[in-house]
Amino acid sequence: MLKIRLQRVGRKHEPSFRVVLTDSKNSTKSGRFKEILGSYNPRKSDDSLNKERIQYWLSQGASPTDTIYNLLVKHQIIKGKKINVSAISKKAPVSTPNEDSSGGAVSEEASQNSSDTKETQSNENGTIESVVEEKTV
């Protein structure tokens, strides 16, 4: 599967990128690419994209990465809304404190020992009151 992605070519603390067409299995740092489709400098508004070749490869089934997709929308090469790239979380989901370290369910004794349950209710004035209910076991 072909992808259109960024390949970093800048110096330390001075990023600049090539827009390249590569196989999705190739690493971005491998240097392997089929074609250079342009360049992108995030510090300056110095972007040069080969519009005809990008449209050709998109018609052939190449898929752009999210950042390239946003760049193509910005330069009006393709139409659509930008994708929120920063909202994607790469962290693993945090386990709840009720689970064991072995991943099992909570024991019945631990769930029955919780004698107080707190609930919050809003008043007509907008103040919050806490209501405590006691459970007898």
DSSP codes of every residue in 104-115? -PPPHHHHHS--
What's the mean pLDDT in 35-47?
Answer: 87
Q: What is the pLDDT of residues 69-123, one digit of tens each?
A: 999 998 888 888 888 888 766 676 666 666 555 555 555 555 555 444 445 455 5
What's the mean pLDDT in 47-68?
Answer: 90
Count of CB atoms situated within 10 Å of the CB of 5 = 23
Mean pLDDT taken over the chain: 76
pLDDT given at position 115? 46
Cα dihedral 40, 44, 50, 54 sign: positive
For the ranges 25-39, 45-59, 116-130, which has the lowest average pLDDT? 116-130
Residue-range domains of the chain with CATH: 2-74 (3.30.1320.10)
pLDDT given at position 13? 92
pLDDT given at position 92? 67
pLDDT given at position 91? 72
